[in-house]
Structure 1
Amino acid sequence: MRSDQLSEVFELVEVRGQMTGAFEVYGPWRSQHEIGDPLKLIAMVHGHGRLLADGLDTPIELGPGEVAILNGRSWLRIEGGTGDGPVCEFLPGPGYNSYGHDDADGPPDVVVGGHIEVNHVGRTLLAQALPPVGHVRAAEASALHRNLRLLAEEAGAGRVGSAFAIRQYAQLLVLELLRAYVDQADLPPGWLRVMTDERLSPALTLMHGEPGRPWSLEELARAAAMSRTSFAERFRTLAGGAAADVPRPVADAAGAAGPARRRRTRRVAGRRAGLRVGERVQHRVQARGGHVAPALPLPRPPGGRAPPRRGTRLNTPDRPHAAIP
């Protein structure tokens, strides 16, 4: 993206691209189905198609290398193909599938379907940043179209390791897709527009360094080499919020993801040490000179209370009222 801050937020909200299926189809065709994913992707690899979804008055024309992002839509219909033969109607299945008549004139249309997975913070942020239906255009030689072709080829070849390769290509597809969207779209006010603004970038760098700190307007304006009034007005225009809410779009994401990141770090450290959760608690208490039963968590005695949880006080020689950390 255009700034390290944007890349950091994408990592914090755990953006993941998933390919749900791909198909090639010969001759005239049509497919209509419900959408179960909040952020659905439909990409045209080869050929042309017309896409309609709830909220659209007229179809979107998709050409080679172009992608439609469906944000919170409930259904879609896509059709394409040429010729005078009967229209092939189908419901795409998982994997790579072929439909229509092989003897139809011309090469097949190739379409890839997928979705973007994010955590609950990411769902809120992307729902605000993206329109109900976004149309990302790409030239033949663009990185987006090149990645689409590689993804479709890998899905259709079925080679050893294809599942791993598809996951990597799908991840890169989301990156290139959002890069293209930021470059092409007239972004609405919101966090995405703020993070792609070069003048506000130094202030965002400051906030990302200490997301929990209550930054003042004066400090942020100084970092951006702007007056407080100019900074507040620019942020209000780009973010669609008051100057008092300057830190919220970035700090909220970082603050929500911070505890999750620390929990993941602790779990990884525990796995490397070969310790279960209960054993880690026991290890910490014993390191302080305390004594606990060798097996944790402790079993519930018949008719008794539950075993001690986090915060339960245990007696240790140096800390008579120590609590399990």
Structure 2
Amino acid sequence: MLVRPPYLRENPEMSSAPLDPFSDLLKFADAQTVVSGGFTAGGAWCIRFPPPGKIKFFAILRGGGWLDIEGEPAPHRLDAGDVFLLPAQRPFRLGSDLRATPVEARTVFGPNTGCGIRQVGDGDEFFLLGAHVVLDPAYGWLLADILPPVILVRHTAPEADGLHWLLDQLVREHAADLPGAGIAAAQLAHLLFIRILRAHLVAGAPLPAGWLRAATDARLAPALRLMHGDPGRAWQLGELAKAAAMSRTTFAQYFKAVAGIPPLAYLTAWRMRLAERALKEQNAPVSELAHRLGYASESAFSNAFKRVTGVGPRRYRGTVGS
């Protein structure tokens, strides 16, 4: 059973220490990882996959091949130990020989094959294990829209050792018929997903201005922890700049360059995301929610909410509840 984290607690005094902003982003996107199986293959083979419909990631446990994503300038060579993640909704091909006549993925895996291991071609010199990530329908865009078409972590990368340990444990759990194996495998796969994202960020890949870049920026981290940890406080620009060890002007300029919006606009946007979630999942009066989010009156909160979302909070609650 999935238990959602209490983003806006009924009793803020009972809240624990705030998570880092990147963890907040992952939790708010409600990323859940599901092991979706894999396949072994041999000879000259090629599989054509439709647009995934969700974030998918794969680990090459044995052998090598090629990954060809529609819209990418050239195929990617894959070797044992490589891990790749596909956020983009594009068709792609996997194969030992991309010139071979492709087999459609649906004929290999079918609509209801669970998380078993399938066979493609002749032999088993290639072995791949896959998983997919389900995001919150309303807030998953916070993560999905800011990732590149493909993230490829090579087996030679500095972060690969940790990934390989997780993969080894995942394979063991996937193969074992032990109590809790399914949950253990899902947790390992989720940690693998987070480590892939972390490896991408550590590699210094350029990120567009936005939530993810801000959430992983070391200079902004102290200020973001304050805003995420106590969103109902009337934070002043000077306080946030001091936490980040910058002047007000430098902080404001740097924050906007990284996040795409000014600091206090970011705080308002974060409050509104919290308000949307609370209106969906809690029955607290709008006046109480306004108070917890730092607004002096229900009307001030309602005006801010409508300015950001296009509808008032009461109407929003009625819409999502219907």
Q: Which runs of 5+ in 1 are unaligned?
A: 264-325
Q: 1:54 to 1:64 in 2, by over 3 A?
A: same
CA contact (8 A) 2:49 2:104 kept: no
Partner residue, 2:41: 25
> How far did 1:42 drift?
2.7
CA contact (8 A) 1:9 1:254 kept: no
Partner residue, 2:314: none
Q: 2:65 aligns with which of 40, 49, 52?
A: 49
Aligned mates of 1:39, 1:80 — CA distance in 2: 23
Q: What amino acid is aligned across from residue 55 of structure 2 in structure 1?
A: L
When normalised by structure 2's length, the TM-score is: 0.68
Aligned mates of 1:177, 1:253 — CA distance in 2: 26
Q: 1:55 to 1:256 in 2, by over 3 A?
A: farther
2:135 is equivalent to residue 118 of structure 1? yes
Report Cα offsets for 1:99-151 as digits up to 9, x if no partner: 2566x5xx621112221112134421112320122223343851112212332
Partner residue, 2:25: 9
2:83 is equivalent to residue 67 of structure 1? yes
Q: 2:145 aligns with which of 110, 124, 128?
A: 128
Aligned mates of 1:25, 1:42 — CA distance in 2: 15
Q: 1:187 to 1:46 in 2, by over 3 A?
A: farther
2:242 is equivalent to residue 226 of structure 1? no
Aligned mates of 2:59, 2:251 — CA distance in 1: 39
The 5 Å alignment of 1:150-169 reads: 150-158=169-177, 161-169=180-188
> How far did 1:44 drift?
1.9
Q: What amino acid is aligned across from residue 20 of structure 1 in structure 2?
A: S
> How far did 1:31 drift?
0.8
CA contact (8 A) 1:17 1:114 kept: yes
CA contact (8 A) 1:22 1:96 kept: yes
Q: 1:88 to 1:73 in 2, by over 3 A?
A: closer
Aligned residues: 256
Q: What amino acid is aligned across from residue 246 of structure 2 in structure 1?
A: M
CA contact (8 A) 1:65 1:148 kept: no
Bigger Rg over Cα: 1
CA contact (8 A) 2:57 2:131 kept: yes
When normalised by structure 1's length, the TM-score is: 0.68
Q: 1:135 to 1:228 in 2, by over 3 A?
A: same
2:204 is equivalent to residue 187 of structure 1? no
> How far did 1:16 drift?
1.1
2:256 is equivalent to residue 236 of structure 1? yes
CA contact (8 A) 1:53 1:73 kept: no
Aligned mates of 1:29, 1:36 — CA distance in 2: 20
> How far did 1:204 drift?
0.8
Partner residue, 1:310: none
Aligned mates of 1:117, 1:159 — CA distance in 2: 25
CA contact (8 A) 2:29 2:143 kept: no
Aligned mates of 2:218, 2:181 — CA distance in 1: 39
Q: 1:40 to 1:128 in 2, by over 3 A?
A: same
Partner residue, 2:126: 109
Q: What amino acid is aligned across from residue 220 of structure 1 in structure 2?
A: L
Aligned mates of 1:108, 1:16 — CA distance in 2: 31
Q: 2:167 aligns with which of 119, 131, 148?
A: 148
Aligned mates of 1:114, 1:17 — CA distance in 2: 7
Q: 1:183 to 1:134 in 2, by over 3 A?
A: same
> How far did 1:88 drift?
8.4
CA contact (8 A) 2:25 2:142 kept: no
Q: What amino acid is aligned across from residue 22 of structure 1 in structure 2?
A: G
Aligned mates of 2:33, 2:83 — CA distance in 1: 14
Aligned mates of 2:88, 2:121 — CA distance in 1: 34
Partner residue, 2:11: none
CA RMSD of aligned residues (A): 3.0
2:229 is equivalent to residue 209 of structure 1? yes
SS of 2:129's partner is strand
SS of 1:246's partner is helix
Report Cα offsets for 1:45-72 as digits up to 9, x if no partner: 2222211122212112222332332223
> How far did 1:227 drift?
0.9
Q: What amino acid is aligned across from residue 146 of structure 1 in structure 2?
A: W
Q: 1:81 to 1:57 in 2, by over 3 A?
A: closer
2:220 is equivalent to residue 200 of structure 1? yes
Aligned mates of 1:72, 1:101 — CA distance in 2: 27
Q: 1:158 to 1:98 in 2, by over 3 A?
A: farther
2:265 is equivalent to residue 245 of structure 1? yes
Q: 1:191 to 1:96 in 2, by over 3 A?
A: same
